[in-house]
Amino acid sequence: MLDRLRRLFLPTDPVQRALTSATTAQALAYGLFYSVSALYFTRVIGLEVTTVGLGLTIAGLLGVLCSFLGGQAADRVGADRLLVWAGVVHGAGLLAYVLADGPVSFTAIACIAVGSRSLQGTARSTVQVRWFTGPDRVDVRARLRVVTNLFIGLGTVLAAGALLVGTGTAYRVTMVAVGLFALFATVPLVGLRSRVEGFGTAMDHHLVPDRVRGPSPLRDRTYVSSVALNSVIAMHFGLTSVGVPLWIATATDAPDVMISALLVLNTVLVALFQVRAARGTHDIGTAGRVVRRGSLLLAVACLLYGSAGSVGLVGAVLLLLAAEVAGSFAEAWCEAGAWGLAFELADPASAGRYQGLAATGYSVASMVAPALVTATAVDHGLPGWALLAVVFAAAGTGVAAVARAAVTARSGPGSPSAAPSPTPTGR
C-alpha cells in the first residue's frame, strides 16, 4: 500500500511528478470552490440564481471555444508554456471573484476563469501526448484522475469550516484560498525545460525545421466520430452533479443525506478502480470495447436510478447504492477508453489540435448535460431515465464500432497509419 501511494504521489518521472503536484493543488482549489461558490455568488455577492446560471452559461460557451483554440495554441507556442500561463490567468481569475459586485463583473470574471481552465485542459493533454508514449499516456492520465478525486474530496472537507461559520468573511477567505491554491498549482510546472533533459525539445515539436504541418482533426472522420460519441457518454457527469441530487430530493423517499453518501461512494470507487480500468486502453480496439462495456453498465445504472422513485425508503436507498456502484465502475471504464482513443487516434504531428478537439467535446458535454438530464430523467421519471440509458448504450456501441473500423484501416496493407507513432524526442 505504501509503495502504491509513493508511486501515485511521488512518481519517478519528473514530468509526471510535476503534473501530480500541480493536480494536487488545483484539485484542492476545486474542492473548496465547488462547495462554497454557489452560496458565495448568491449570498455574498447577492446575485439571483438565474443570473448565476446565465453568467456561467456564457462562460461555458467561451470555454468550448478556448478548448478548441487551445489546441492551435499548444501546437504553436509549446504546450508547457500554454499550461503555465493559462494556469496563472486561471488562478488570477478565481481570486478576482472576491472583487465581483454585480452581474457584469461576475460574468466577466467567470469568462476569464472558465476560459483559462479550458486552455489548461487542452495544454495538459498535449503535454502528456508529447512526453509520454503508449500505455504510459493513459496510465498517467488515470493516476492524475485518482489524485484529482482524492483532493477534491479533501477540499470539500476543508470547506466545511466556511459552511459552518456561514459568514461573508468566511466565504471570502475561502475564495481567496481557492485562487491561491490554483496559482500554486503552476509552480511545479515552471522550469521543467531546464530541469528535465529533452523536455523542451519534445514540447517544441512545432519548431522542428522542415516539419510537415499535421492535418486538421476536423477532417479526420474517425477522430471526429470518436470525440462526438464519447462526448455523448461524458454527459453522464451531469447525472452526478445535477440529475441524481435532484432526483433524490424530489422523486424518491430516500433522505437527502444520500446525495453526499453517493458522492463519497463514487469518489472512493473511482479512486480505487481508475488505474486498473485504464490498463490496456492504449490499444485502440481494447479502448473501444472498454467504452462499450462501460456504457452498457451506465445504462443499467440509469434504470436503477429511475426505479428508485417508486419503491419506498429502504428500496430507494438500496437501489441508489446499487446504481452508484454500477455508475462508478461505468465512469472509470468510459473515461479510460475515451482517453486511450483520444491519444492513440490522434496524428502526432497535430497533437495539440487533436487534443483541443477532444477537450472541446468534453466542454460541450459539460454545458449541455445539466439541461438534458433535467429535461429527461428529472422531469419524466423512469421513462426519461430509460431514454438516457438507450442514448448511453447506443453511443458506447458506436464508439466500439468506430474503434474496430480504425483498427481494420490501420492494419490494412500499405496504410501509412499502420506505422507506429514516433517516440517524443525528449525520451
Predicted confidence at residue 212, as pLDDT, reads: 62
Mean pLDDT in residue range 54-80: 86
pLDDT of residue 29: 92
What pLDDT score was predicted for residue 240?
77
Sign of the CA dihedral 49, 94, 233, 365? positive
Q: Rounded to 5 degrees, what angle do the CA atoms 317, 155, 119 make?
A: 105
User: In CATH terms, are 10-207 and 215-417 the same topology?
Assistant: yes
Confidence of residue 152 (pLDDT cuts 50, 70, 90): confident
pLDDT at residue 186, rounded to an integer? 94
The whole-number pLDDT of residue 206 equals 64
Mean pLDDT of the 401-419 span: 73
128-140 average pLDDT score:
84
The pLDDT score that the predictor gives to residue 411 is 78
Residue at 420: amino acid letter: P
Q: Are 262 and 270 in contact (CB under 8 A)?
A: no
Distance CA 197, CA 50 (A): 51
Q: How confident is the model at residue 426 (pLDDT cuts 50, 70, 90)?
A: very low
Ordered alpha helix ranges (H), 78-131: 79-96, 103-131
Over range 332-337, report the average pLDDT: 93
Q: How far is CA 327 from CA 229, 321, 376, in A?
A: 18, 10, 18
Cα angle for residues 156, 188, 237 (degrees, 5° grid):
40
What's 12's DSSP letter? S
Looking at the chain, how many residues does it have? 427
Dihedral angle of Cα 116, 120, 123, 129, to the nearest 10 degrees: -160
Q: How confident is the model at residue 185 (pLDDT cuts 50, 70, 90)?
A: very high
| Amino acid code (one letter) for 244 | V
The whole-angstrom separation of Cα 165 and Cα 170 is 7
- Percentage of the chain modeled with pLDDT above 90: 38
Distance (Å, whole) CA 10 – CA 326: 31
Res. 422 pLDDT band, cuts 50 70 90: very low
Average model confidence (pLDDT) for the chain?
86
For residue 147, give the C-alpha cell: 489524485
Q: Is the pLDDT of residue 417 over 70?
A: no
Q: How confident is the model at residue 427 (pLDDT cuts 50, 70, 90)?
A: very low
Mean pLDDT of 220-243: 88
CATH 1.20.1250.20: does it fit domain 10-207? yes
Backbone angles phi, psi at 252, to 5 degrees: -120, 165
CA distance 136 to 421: 14
For residues 407 and 340, what is the distance between their CA atoms, to the nearest angstrom? Answer: 13
pLDDT of 135 strictly over 90: no
Q: Answer whether residue 1 shows pLDDT above 80.
A: no
Residue entry with cell 458506436: 398
Instruction: Cite the DSSP H helix spans in 235-281.
Output: 237-238, 244-251, 257-277
215-417: CATH topology: Growth Hormone; Chain: A; (1.20.1250)
Can you give the pTM of this predicted structure? 0.80
Residue 420 scores a pLDDT above 50: no
Three-state DSSP string of 148-159: HHHHHHHHHHHC
Q: Which of 60-74, 85-99, 237-251, 362-376 has the highest mean pLDDT?
A: 85-99
Distance in Å from the first CA to the final CA of the chain: 29
Q: Given a cut of 60, is residue 415 above it in pLDDT?
A: no
Rg value, the chain, Cα: 21
Question: What are the sequence ranges of the domains in the chain?
Answer: 10-207, 215-417
Distances from the Cα of 280 to the Cαs of 91, 142, 223, in angstroms? 35, 12, 19
State yes or no: pLDDT of 35 exceeds 60.
Answer: yes
Rounding to the nearest 10 degrees, give the CA dihedral for residues 11, 158, 176, 27.
30
- Residue 210 has a pLDDT of 61
Residue 34 has pLDDT above 60, yes or no: yes
User: Mind listing the pLDDT tens digit for each residue in 232-285?
Assistant: 999 888 887 778 888 888 888 888 778 778 878 888 888 888 888 888 888 999
* pLDDT score, position 207: 64
Looking at residues 346-350, what average pLDDT do you find?
81
